[in-house]
Amino acid sequence: MATILDGKAVNQQIIDELKPRIAALAESRRPPGLAVVLVGNDSASEIYVSSKVKTCRELGMRSEEIRMAESSTTAEVLATVQALNADFGIDGILVQMPLPKQIDSRAVLLAIDPAKDVDGFHPFNVGNLVGNIPGPRPCTPAGVMELFRRYGIGLKGKRAVVAGRSDIVGKPMAMLMMHEHATVTICHSRTVDLEGECRRAEILVAAIGRTAMIGAEHIAEGAVVIDVGINRVTNRDEAIRLTGGNPARMAGFDKRGSIVVGDVDPVAMAERASAYTPVPGGVGPLTIAMLMSNTVGCAERSLG
């Protein structure tokens, strides 16, 4: 029987561990502060932002939610970021992506003070990641590392494959695993013999951005599989295939008209892996937990 790596449980552990650190900061100086900038009316982004703001407030942190019009210019967003850089009460700045097409996203990300870059995307913090120097790490890969640590999954000497090469997940995930002495291969959609490369993995991280692209033929028997993907399936026959007709999942499909699955075929993953993250409920909850952790860490460094 495979071990299900419960992201919700680990999320709660991390949140509980942050509470005394937040209380200590609030008592000595002030509570940590996180500002989230949302430009436009993207519905998925609004859900993500609401969840982040809600978690902040539940923890007793200062939370600033800044909403800007869809028609905002690069200069206007940069002015907002610069004002937050100068705000002593704000320790973390997160500009929710994607931005409207007329805005220079790279210029906006570069404008964020690296000391307040809780996403860990600024080149300064990417350099710290490469050099294994303390600082904020990209939230999703950092959350996966917490799963490994808390479930006692050792990486030293293990063969690991990361399927996906994005700056947000794939590349930092590989770097973090290398720092823990794993032997890491990065693959992507154009990799020759992707199936064979993935089957070599004792630890397989799927972050390729395609619904259930990783199937049984990609997974070695007994591998640890981390599914980072979030994809919505609206076709009922496809939902039945991907859930094995699971009554609970299909009841959810019939209620909402869709289900969420990852980049790995969930039936194949459950059958072949020794441990795996479900979708939903695996990696997803950890992203917000690590955002809170990064914000608290930035506050501690700022306040000494």
The catalytic site residues sit at 52, 96, 119
3-state SS of the chain: helix, strand, coil percent to 5?
A: 45, 15, 35
Name the residue with tokens 């397989």: 204
User: What token pair was written down for 84?
Assistant: 């937050």
**How are beta strands 33-39 and 62-68 bridged, if at all?**
parallel
Q: Which residues pair with 38 in a beta bridge?
A: 67
Contact present, 291 and 36 (Cβ < 8 Å): no
Cis peptide leading into 278, omega within 30 of 0? no
Q: CA 231 to CA 155: how far, in whole Å?
A: 28
Answer yes or no: are the C-beta atoms of 193 and 238 closer than 8 Å: no
Contact indicator for 290, 14 with CB cutoff of 8 Å: yes
